[in-house]
Structures are given as C-alpha cells and as structure tokens.
Structure 1
C-alpha cells in the first residue's frame, strides 16, 4: 500500500499482483483498480490482468465480467466484450446495461437499447451516492444530463423508425 500512496503505481501493481495470486480478494480488486485508473495497459499486457479477473470471477466476483468486457472492448473485440457484458448482466451486475445499450444502438436495435438505458437510469437513481463536494455534484448532474440525452435520442430514433415502418406498410 505504501507504493500506492507514494504514487508508484507500477510497484503497487506488482505488490498487489503477488497478494492476488495468493487469493486475497481485496488485493485482486485493488490490482484491477490500479490497472484501470492509472492507464497501465501500456506497461502491463491485458492478458495478465485478464488472469486476475478470471480468478476473481471463479471466486464468485461477478463484477469482474464487466471489467473483462471493457478490456475486450478496448482491444476492439466487440463480440467478445458483448458476451461478457451479457453474462455479467445475467449474474446481476447492472453496470453492464450501459455498454449493452450502446452496442444495440450501434446495431440499430433501438428498442432494446432504449429498454437497457431505462433500466440503467432507474438503477442509477436508486443507488445515488451522497456527494460532499460541489465538484462531485456537478459531475453527477452532467452524467445524468448525458444519460437522459441518450435516452431521449433513442426514444426519438424509435419513433422515427416506427413511422418509417408504418409508411412502408
């Protein structure tokens, strides 16, 4: 932990890696956090972090599936990332709703994209964290605004597609 506090993230990563291979779940979570937040993907091969995520998943931590999906998405392996998002959603991790919504929007399944977006917004509203600083409050307002913007964009796309289908018939 000293390495992390000293902002030597690479040494912190390797220290947590040793503990994570011993089976310490907190070390495994910290390892993934350090990897994701400090952009260590240039230094550490994603395959190594995938081993830790797989270990977390086998230990029952289903939130690892979301992280696996994110890594595959960064590697432009869309189908693989979507399969991990779907599995994570089946296991109950609702963070997977947003990337799945984006995937379905991209592939012109606007009904499903809107449905997933609505579920995500409802869940986010239930889990609102108490913000202490003005900056956190502003960040939450901006995130909410962007989510609602996406929601209504999908809504209008659905309406447009529905009208187009009715014109054809």
Structure 2
C-alpha cells in the first residue's frame, strides 16, 4: 500500500540501489509479484480513497514509459487482452529486448507495444518471435521500424529479427503445363 501519500514504494528503492554498494539483495521479481497482488487488493479499497492512483516499480522490468503504459493498457483491453495485462507487460520487456533495447519515445514505444500485443495474441516469446519472423505477419509499425522509417537505433537494428521479416522465405512457385 506504499507510494502515493505513504512511504516510497519498496520496489523503487530496491531497484535504485541494485548494483551499488547499498544493494539490498531483495528479489526484484518477488517484489513485482507482491506489487501485482497489492495492485489488485488496492482496487477493493478504491471507494474509500481519493482519486489518486497507485504506483509500482514494475517499470524497472518492462521499461514502459508512463504515457505508453496507460495507452497500452487501454489498447490491450480493447483487443480482449485485459485479463492478460501481466503477459502484455512481460511481452513488452521481451519485445524491447528483441528490438535491441531501443529508446522508447513516441513512436518507438508504440512499436514495442504493438509487438508485445502481437506476441501475446500469437503466444510467442522472444525465441519463437525471432525463429518465426519470416513467416509471421508482423504489425506494420514493426516492419516500418525495421525498414528505418522511424530512425536508426543507436546500436543498430537487431539481427536476425530485422532481416527475416524484410526478406521472408520465398514461396515455392509451381508451374502447370496445360
């Protein structure tokens, strides 16, 4: 129930100290599970609270910008993925890694979000996404990103994810002599 007008979110503190001499050693994944639990619990108490929203440290895992978070959550619900929001968050992190850990600003954050939802809808993980990229009909924003229409990532485009959708496996042509 931390954050808001109470004490700071423990996950934010743990993540900010990670890798320093003050590293707490507390599991970030464990804190995320607790955060998800309390997020759901807090909804039960919403009628008794002001219109303030809860905070969470899950941003350290999925790296979703705030505006993208609210937009993507609404889009996910519109696509029937509202009950799979946790999977969409995990897929966002996986999509970001697959795309080369890009800087997420508009429109690049949308590219990552589109790919994340696509991955959840098609039951893909990072590995199967890359392996099947030449046969998948990826979202247009992802293909445009890979074509360079949204700019060039600082570390370059991720291979082989970039070349597979842009150079799909040719289909076999059968000629009939009639």
TM range (shorter): 0.3 to 0.5
TM value normalised by structure 2: 0.36
Relative to the length of structure 1, the TM-score reads 0.38
Which has the larger helix fraction? 1
Specify which structure has the bigger relative contact order, considering alpha-carbon pairs within 8 angstroms and separated by 6 or more residues: 2
